[in-house]
Structure 1
C-alpha cells in the first residue's frame, strides 16, 4: 500500500441527503483510475458515522465493483465491537479485502479495553484489521505488542502525530506489520512520519485533486524537495489553515472542493455543514492556485 497515495473517497449524497449511487460510482471510477495504493470507503472522509447499514452495504459494494480487483478495498467499521461486527459482516459479503477499525464511540477506555475491542472483532470476522488510533484511542507499547499478536490484526493507522510514541511502536512491531500516516492533511507531516518508518499515508486531497496529491507523492518518492516544499508552502499549508477555521471542515472542505471540480458528490450530512460562502471563495482560489502549480485545470 506504500506504492501509491491511499484514497479515502467521499460518499455522494443528493441535495435531500439521500445516497447518490450514481454520483458515488462516478467519483470512485475517477479515484481508482489514478492507481492509488488502496481505496478506503466509508471511513472518516466518507462519512461512515452518517451511514445506516443499508447505505453502508451499497457504498462498500459499489466500491468493490469499481475497484474490480485492481486495488485493495479497505472498508471502515466502528462504534463498539458488537456494532462493528455487524458492519464487518456486511463488508465481508460485499467483497472488501480488509477493515479499518475506526475509534470506538464516546467513552475513554483503558489499554486493556482497547485490546479487548480488537480481540472481540477479530474473533468474529475473517477480514484483516487495521487499527486506527486517534481521538480516545492511543496504544502504549505493551498494548501495541498485544494487538500485533491478535490473529488478523495487520496494521495500525496513526492520527495522533506523536512521533516519539510512534517510533517506539515501529521499533517493536513484528516484521511485515503495516503502518499508515493518518494525520489531518497528512502530506504536511509525511516526511516526518517517513523518518520514523511510516511512509504510507492517507490523502484527503486525493479525493478532489489527485493531480496535486500525485505530484506531491512523486516528489517525495524521488527526493525532489523543491517541488515538495513548494506544494507544502503554497497549497497544503494554506489548505490546513482553511481546514482549521471550523469544526468538520476536514470533511466538508474536501467535499466542497470536489464539487468545485464538477464531481457529483453532493453536500455533507448533518451534523457536518458545508463551508460558508467566504470560505468557499477562499477554497476556490486556493484550489486554482494548487492546480496551477502542477499544470492541471480546475
Structure 2
C-alpha cells in the first residue's frame, strides 16, 4: 500500500529532443532522497503521450535503477488498446512495480467499455493497476465497483474533480469488495492536487499526486505535514503564497500542468529541457513568475 506524497517526475529532453536519461536519473534520485511514498514515471507529468515504446522502456529502467528499491515505481500505460497492452508488458519487463492506467485514445467510451479496456490491459501482467478516472475515461459507481474487483486492480485515481460522483463511488467500491480483504486505495489525481486535497480528504481520500514535489519537494512535504497535523494556518499560508498562484499560472495555457513542472525542475539546476509537441513550454517571463511563486512558498517555510 502506498503512503505519503507521490512523486511524478518529468521526462527530461535534450535540446535536440531526445530523452535525457542522465538528467532523468539525477531528477529521480534527488526526488527519492527527499522522501516520497512512491514514484510514478512516464505518466501524465512524464509526457507518456509523447514517448515511443523504446523510450518508455529506457525511462522505466532508468527510474527503477535510480530508485534502487527504496519505494515502489509505477509506470504509465494507456492510449490505443494494442499499445496499452504493449506498454504494460514493457513496464513489467523493465522492472516496474505497478501501472497507472491512462485514458484510451481519442474515443469517448461508455463507462461499461472502460471495464473491458481495463480488463484487457490488466491481464497482460501481474502488476497492480491503478485506474485513472479523468478526461475521456470516466467511470460511474457501478463500473468503478466492477473494475475494483478485477484481481490486479488496486486503486482508483480521480482527476475529474467531480466530488459528488467520487463521494458515491467510494462506498460503492467498498461495498463491492465487502469482506474480501483486498487492499484498495483512492487517490486525488487533480492537477496541483494540494489545492483540492482538503475536499478530497473530507471524503476519506488521503493519497494524492504532487506535481509540485518534482521541483519543490520541501514545499510539497511541508504541506503534507500540515495536512496530517491539521495545521490550518500553515495550510492556508501555503495555499495563498504557492499553490493557488501555481494553479492560476497552470490554467493560463492548456498543457501547462506539465510545462510549468519541467520549468520548475530546470530551476532546481537539473536541465529538464522543453516539452514535446503538441504541448508548449513556458515563456521566459512565465518562468520568472514561477520562480517568484517558488520563492514565496519557501518564505512561508522560513517563517
* Pairwise same-fold verdict (TM > 0.5): yes
Out of 227, 230, 236, the position equivalent to 1:223 is 230
18-27 or 141-150, which deviates more: 141-150
Out of 164, 171, 188, the position equivalent to 1:181 is 188
Tell me if the contact between 2:2 and 2:38 (Cα under 8 Å) persists in the aligned partners: no
Is the counterpart of residue 100 in structure 1 residue 96 in structure 2? no
Q: Which residue does the alignment assign to 1:14?
A: 14
TM-score (norm 2): 0.95
Q: Which residue does the alignment assign to 1:147?
A: 147
Distance 1:111 1:201 in 2: 23
Distance 2:282 2:258 in 1: 10
Any unmatched runs of 5+ in structure 2? none
Any unmatched runs of 5+ in structure 1? none
Q: Which residue does the alignment assign to 1:113?
A: 113
Q: Which residue does the alignment assign to 2:247?
A: 240
Out of 189, 196, 199, the position equivalent to 2:203 is 196
**Displacement of 1:66:** 1.2
| Helix, strand or coil at the partner of 1:172 | helix
**Displacement of 1:72:** 0.5
Which residues of 2 match residues 19-168 of structure 1 at below 5 A?
A: 19-168=19-168
Tell me if the contact between 1:2 and 1:201 (Cα under 8 Å) persists in the aligned partners: no
Is the counterpart of residue 259 in structure 1 residue 266 in structure 2? yes
Tell me if the contact between 1:24 and 1:264 (Cα under 8 Å) persists in the aligned partners: no
| Helix, strand or coil at the partner of 1:217 | helix
Distance 1:124 1:3 in 2: 26
| Helix, strand or coil at the partner of 1:281 | helix
| Helix, strand or coil at the partner of 2:282 | coil
Tell me if the contact between 1:100 and 1:129 (Cα under 8 Å) persists in the aligned partners: yes
Is the counterpart of residue 249 in structure 1 residue 256 in structure 2? yes
| Helix, strand or coil at the partner of 2:14 | coil
| Helix, strand or coil at the partner of 1:132 | strand
**Displacement of 1:2:** 5.1
What do the CA deviations read for 1:198-243 (whole angstroms, capped 9, x no partner)?
A: 1100000000000000100011011111001100011100110011
Q: CA RMSD in A?
A: 1.3
Tell me if the contact between 1:35 and 1:71 (Cα under 8 Å) persists in the aligned partners: no
Distance 2:209 2:7 in 1: 6
Tell me if the contact between 1:188 and 1:232 (Cα under 8 Å) persists in the aligned partners: yes
